[in-house]
Structures are given as C-alpha cells and as structure tokens.
Chain A
Amino acid sequence: MPKVKIPRKSISLDMTAMCDMAFLLLTFFMLTTKFKPEEPIAVDMPSSISETILPDANILTISIGKEGRVFYGMDGQEAKREVLKNISSKYGITFTPSEEKKFILMSSFGSTVSDLKKVLSSKEAEKKQSGIPIDSTNNQLRDWILYSARADKQLKVAVKGDKETDYKVVSRVIAILQELNINKIKLITTMEAKPQ
C-alpha cells in the first residue's frame, strides 16, 4: 500500500485584523498625546532628590526666569476663560473672542495686563515678554493668582524657578502666595540620585 501523502498547507494568517488593531491604537495615541507646549521662557530647574510627581490637572505654574521675569501658566480652559473675564473687568481692558481663544490656548505668558493684547496679537512676542509685575504698588501677579484660585477651587500652585534666579524674586512670589492663603507650594525640580 502506498503511503497517503498529506498535502502540506502553507500557514498564512490573516493579518488584516491585527493591522486594524495596531493602527487603531496608533491613531488613539497620536490623537490623545499632546506635545510639550513651547515655553516662552527657558527655565533651567534645580535638582532635588524628591520623587513626587506633579499632578496632571488643576495646576497653576509660576515660572521664574533667570533675570527674575515672572510668567503665569495654567491648565483648565474654562477656568482660564473666567480668569481673563475677571482681569478684563478689573483693569478695564476688553478682549475680543479671538484674543480670548488665543489666551486660553497659550501655555503661559508673562506681560503686564496692558501689554497682553500685544502679546496675543503678535506671533513672535514670546521672546520679548517682560514678565508680570510683582511689586507691591502694581501687584498684577496677585490678581492673576487670586482669580485663578476663585475659578478653580482645587487649584494647586507650582513654582518653576531657574537655578540662577535671585532668591529675592522667589521669596516675593512666595510672599504673594502666602498673602492669598496659599501655603502649600510645589517646587518643580529635576531628578537627582539619592546619596547613600
């Protein structure tokens, strides 16, 4: 009796489903992640051994540059809209809807309220912003923080200072926060190895 030859079947999987899933995931990741927003000010942060991670939401970031320029950044679009409304009514400057929209989408800014319109209208003003005034006679930072805390009840304040900033500026910012009864401050740092 001759052997019965079993015909070899080539194994070919249908990859279509696999491909579908892969691209579904890919598009999901591409759409949900956002690139690091471009900071108008370069801040070289000091390092610490702290390993606590900055929470995602309800964060107000006060960046302090090398020369002591102060920038304000906040997440939460609705809260930001409310803050801008309060600021414009207090300082008597009206913002157009398009300016408002641009303000909401901006990661952070650092100018006086009167210069804010200029910053919002121009594309390249990022580099030339003078910082938010923090001196006691013209304490605009206080108003920004105050209205932010009102708009967002769960606001947490983070301070992102440059290594080389004079402590004078940082202590002034902390004093402003204390005035507003914000006593928990998160200092943003970079990682450093723990000594043995």
Chain B
Amino acid sequence: MTHTLKKQCAVVALAVAAAFGAAQDVAAQSGEIFMPVLVYRTGAYAPNGIPWADGYVDYIKLVNERDGGVNGIKLSFEECETGYATDRGVECYERLKSKKPVLVNPLSTGITYALTEKVAADKIALFTTGYGRADSADGSVFAWNFPLLGTYWSAADMLVQHVAKKGSLKGKKIALVYHDSPYGKEPIRLLEEHAKKHGFEFIKLPVTHPGVEQKATWLQVRQQRPDYVFLWGWGVMNSTSIKEAIAVSYPRLQMYGVWWSSAEPDVLPAEAAGKGYNGIALGHSDERDFPIHKDMVKFLYEKGKGTAKSKDEVGSVLYNRGMISAMLSVEAIKKAQEKHGKRVVTGEEVRWGAENLNIDAAKVKALGFGDMVQPLKTSCRDHEGVRRGRIHTWDGKDWSYTSDWIEADDKFLRPLVEASAKAYAAEKKITPRDCSKEK
C-alpha cells in the first residue's frame, strides 16, 4: 500500500535534485558572492517585512550597480519567502544553502534560534542586525552569530535607563506588552534583572500571534495602570496596541516601542492619535537625505531598477534598517577580502571579517550613511559591536529624536550575556574559544 508514497518521493526527489544540481553549477561558475535574503512580503508581518527587504535588496543592487560589486566581485542574491514561520525559514535556508552563501540574515528571532546550530556546522555567518538572541553577543561561544548594532537586551537596558532618568523607578510599574514568540520573550530576563536592581514591579503581558486580539491585555493595563509600557510587537500587532492604548486611554507618551515597533507602518494606522508614541531608534530613524539615499534614487530608482514600489519608501525607518543590515554584511565581506584577497570569499572568511569589523564615524560617512550608524567595532569577545540608541517620538506625521544618545550599560549586561552563553555552551557541549588567543 505504501508504494505510491515512495513513487511520489522519487519523482519529487529527482525533480528537485535536478533543479538544484543545475542551480549549484550556475552559482559556482559565475564567480559571484551569494547572499540569500530571507524575507516576509506576505502575511501578518508583511507591512514591516516589505520595507526591510526592499532596503536590503536595494543595497546589494546598489553595490553592484554603482561600485561593480565588492572589490570587483559581484554580489548575487535570491529572496525566499518565510512568512515569519520558523519551519519555512529553515526550509529557505536549506534551499539556498546549496548555492554556497557566505552569510545569512534570517530576519526572525525564531529562525535565528533554529539556525544557530546549523550555521556553525555549515560554516555560514549568521547576521542578526539588531535582533536575534541576546547572548550571542558573546562570540567566544557563538562564533557564527553576529547580533550587530545591538540586541534586545541592550534595547531593554536603554529603555530602562531612559525612564529611570525621569525619576526613580522604585515602587513603579513597568509592563511589557510582547509578541508571544522568542522575539517578544527575549527581553524578559533582562527586565527581570532590572526590576530587582531598580525595585520596580515588572508586569508581563503576552499577546499571541499575529497580535490583533489584545482586548484582554489592555484591560489589564487599564486595571494595573503601569507607569510605562514597553512594546515588543511586530507588524499588525503594533498598530493594534496603539489603537487599544487609545481605547483604554493609556497615555502614548508613556509607551516605548523597541525598534521593530517604531516604524511608519506601526503608527500610521492609528493616525493622529498615535501622537506622542515613543520608540528606541537604534542609531537611525527615518533619515532620508544622506548621500546613500541620493545614490539609491540616482542609481536604482531613476533607472527603474528599485525594488520598492516608489522612491518615497527610500529612507523610511525599516528601509534604512534593511539597508544598514546589508551594508554591515557587505563590510564584513570587504574585511574578509582585505585579509584573503579580492576574490569570492568563503563563509569562514566572512565570519572572520565580521569579527574584525572596525567601522568608525568617518567610514560611516564615507559610505554615505551620514551619522545613521554609530561607530562599530567587533571582536571575538563582543559580536555586538555597538549598543547605542536614541528615543524618537511620533508627532503624527514624522519621527523626531527626543533624547540624547543612550549607551547600554555593558557592566550590567555582560555578566548576564556571559552566564546565558555559558549555559548554552554547557547544554550543547561547546568549548568556548579563548578570545585572548584570537588574532
């Protein structure tokens, strides 16, 4: 009875094997550096996923178009739709793996968790620019993970510092309204530590995927009246939260989103009522007038090669984030080429490049990013590079900065990161590298 199953397997197997065999050959011959792009352009998170993907892809296109590739080596890429589902993300990774990618940017904390082990085995660098698992900042255990530009723990730390400046937190209440997934749960451990340190009450309010059903959550907010609400949402959940906050008349000024919760698609649906809502901007907000944006318009959009629907999207918060993610990936490739020669580098070499990044303010400026990216320096010990951000506030039309630079407290964070990484290493039987011996 089971033989049709085998027959089907065989047919599909042959088809797939043939297709992938062919694809692999093409990539190997072309002499290009391949970058898979895991995106979600459909589903509940699409409004946020699309600008990120456009920014990421546009930057790759720009490097090819304007500079003729990285040191003369063209970049090739292929998008794969994950729909923010971890299993589809893993499938995408496996699918694109045969094309010898040097790095992967999974754009989901869940997929990051699932890939963490796989990338180490496959020797592919895992870039999680501004997201991913916080403990992977410890490069001695997580050799292949690069949570560049800050983790959720850094973000939570910055937010606590910011609100602590407004007055002692002792006896106050902070609620975390979070997406009930690894992404949303990531800051919990840090906030619990902070609650102990500062003496505030920490309230956890989970919201299940996709996040449109939040009535119960906000009734709790109304009941408990927290002094601050931190919002760890994504996609349609954010705008719903803001609307629900309006419904229970919770002041938007006391709401702070993480960077995924403070972009245009989140506040626009709430219209003017979203006014006063804050978010932590990780280096950048919706800056639009730097040379890189002009280059995007000049080299891509004026020639009809842009990925986004219109050039108005260039410079929006998430577009910038996608662009910066791609920029850091490309810089890691460049760094690898510095050491290993201007050729098609391997994942292992790119990993080294990412671990030895040193991008100062002048370099950021030279790349055309103005001051959108803070100076960043990675090492074996620190895969995060930089942990600085500013608060930006939505005025109903635009984002504007409303705080000075805040730097996450590494003295407070580092022991937590190391403890968590150590636990992971013990669980996985990984021997941490001795960072003093790394060149």
Does A associate with B in a complex? no
